Amino acid sequence: MTDQVSPTGAFIEQWRDHAYACFSSGHKFCRNVCPVMGVTQNENHSPTAFHANVVAMEQGLVSLEDVARDYVHCTQCGACETRCPNTLMAGDFYRHRTRTVDVVKAVRALAVDNGIEQPGWKHWVDETVRARTEPVLDVPIEQERVAEWADGLDLPIGGETILFVDCEAAFYRTSLPKAVAGVLKAAGVEFGLMREQWCCGGPAREMGYVARAREFAEHNLADWRATGVKRVIALDPHDYIAFTEDYVEYFARPGTAKHPEDLRSRIVGDDYDIEIVYITELVAELIREGRLKLTVPIEVVATYHDPCRLNKRKGIHESPREILRAIPGLEFRDVDHVTQWAYCSGAGGGLPVERPDLTEAISAQRLDHAANLEVDTLVSQCVWSERPLSKAGADRGIEVRDLMEMVAESAGIDGHVEGTA
């Protein structure tokens, strides 16, 4: 044991029962589904260890310094939660879910609060605070240019519905927001942009920088309120989960957010009621209602990469499949296992910043699974996954494409161009 930092009462009070529920059960099935464990084979990176450490810290057997670095090794994908027998046996009836992701986030936050910082994450968050947008790799970042992708599209500022464009999409894969804007316009959906969009704050929160994350959230909510926003469309799963979990925690009156089965969340306060909708949910609805017609064939054999934050974390897995099946010419081969047991890309939870080597290895595994289905295309709907997946796909002759860009193409939208800034 060290004489360094040990978690204090409030932390232990909040997490001890969860930790003991895992520690005492000893199933450890989560090891086999954890994408990080799959490549490191290091027990310290297992979901079981993340809970057991809390028990050990409570018992005074290890300190926070001893274990803080281990918690880097999680993409916050939620695979362990969906496969945990404690979730499976008690989930349907009691709504119980093992909470590994939240434990990881809590330990990371505790570490930051105690001055234990990871160098890559500290740099990333410092840069995000400086630029008010994430330091997207390979392209210059200036917050003032966050809506440059929309030049020439004649989109209004504000309005009842706005499109929130993720940092990676706004600065790097600008073809994605252009495609989404074209699709929404073609279907007659009126929408605008924020006056001044900042990073959603989700990544900072995932890395443990809770106060910083909240500053971003407060700015964005103030921007929405100032222009009377009633609905926010998210086109990236990381933004969506930040809005539907973090923002709800910060700003929603208790009991107003949602029913667990409801895929659309609301942020309800005294003078605001803002619906959060994910783009695939909306586009599937537009196709169903006949407001968006997909007529241009795309002749590929494709499978779908379920972004973890959509599928395993938020239960959004039907709408992307509905859209894929509506694209003429596309032969869809679904994953060869239970849909909610989808494999991670390795691109979440800050892992690519601290351990890009592991992200690369996990993406390679994901493409191996796709290759087993004998497809030529892997379709994703998470812009952050698309860079590492594309690299792994190039090695295997599988093209990685974004679902919304394919929708734009199949809808015959003028000016649809795939690619990056």
Provide the binding-site residues for ligand SF4, judged by CB under 6 A: 33-36, 47, 74-80, 100-101
Angle at 346 between CA 82 and CA 363, to 5 degrees: 115
Closer residue to ligand SF4, CB minimum distance, 197 or 345: 345
Closer residue to ligand SF4, CB minimum distance, 76 or 128: 76
Closer residue to ligand SF4, CB minimum distance, 106 or 406: 106
For the CB of residue 34, give the shortest distance to ligand SF4 in the complex, in Å: 3
Name the token pair of 30. Answer: 């989560």
Closer residue to ligand SF4, CB minimum distance, 33 or 204: 33
For the CB of residue 246, give the shortest distance to ligand SF4 in the complex, in Å: 17
| Cα–Cα dist 216/205, whole Å | 10
For the CB of residue 69, give the shortest distance to ligand SF4 in the complex, in Å: 15
For the CB of residue 359, give the shortest distance to ligand SF4 in the complex, in Å: 11
Closer residue to ligand SF4, CB minimum distance, 35 or 350: 35
For the CB of residue 83, give the shortest distance to ligand SF4 in the complex, in Å: 8
| Cα–Cα dist 51/54, whole Å | 5
Closer residue to ligand SF4, CB minimum distance, 54 or 80: 80
For the CB of residue 70, give the shortest distance to ligand SF4 in the complex, in Å: 10
For the CB of residue 15, give the shortest distance to ligand SF4 in the complex, in Å: 15
| Cα–Cα dist 59/66, whole Å | 14
For the CB of residue 75, give the shortest distance to ligand SF4 in the complex, in Å: 4
For the CB of residue 293, give the shortest distance to ligand SF4 in the complex, in Å: 38
Nearest one of 72, 75, 82, 74 to 30, comparing CA atoms: 82
Under a CB-based contact definition with an 8 Å cutoff, are residues 54 and 38 in contact?
no
Closer residue to ligand SF4, CB minimum distance, 33 or 252: 33
Closer residue to ligand SF4, CB minimum distance, 79 or 106: 79
How far is CA 384 from each of CA 33, 86, 339, rounded to the nearest angstrom? 21, 31, 21
Closer residue to ligand SF4, CB minimum distance, 46 or 265: 46
Amino acid at 334: D
Closer residue to ligand SF4, CB minimum distance, 78 or 208: 78
User: Which three-class secondary structure string do you get for the chain?
Assistant: CCCCCCCCHHHHHHHHHHHHHHHHHCCCCHHHHCHHHHHHCCHHHCHHHHHHHHHHHHCCCCCHHHHHHHHHCCCCCCHHHHHCHHHHHHHHHHCCCCCHHHHHHHHHHHHHHCCCCCHHHHHHHHHHHHHCCCCCCCCCCCHHHCCHHHCCCCCCECCCEEEECCHHHHHCCCHHHHHHHHHHHHCCCCCEECCCCCCCCHHHHHCCCHHHHHHHHHHHHHHHHHCCCCEEEECCHHHHHHHHHHHHHHHCCCCCCCCCCCCCEEEEECCEEEEEEEHHHHHHHHHHCCCCCCCCCCCCEEEEECCCCCCCCCCCCHHHHHHHHHCCCCEECCCCCCHHHCCCCCCCCCHHHHCHHHHHHHHHHHHHHHHHCCCCEEEECCHHHHHHHHHHHHCCCCEEEEHHHHHHHHCCCCCCCCCCC
Closer residue to ligand SF4, CB minimum distance, 99 or 178: 99
For the CB of residue 47, give the shortest distance to ligand SF4 in the complex, in Å: 4
For the CB of residue 100, give the shortest distance to ligand SF4 in the complex, in Å: 5
Residue 343: other Cβ atoms inside 10 A = 23
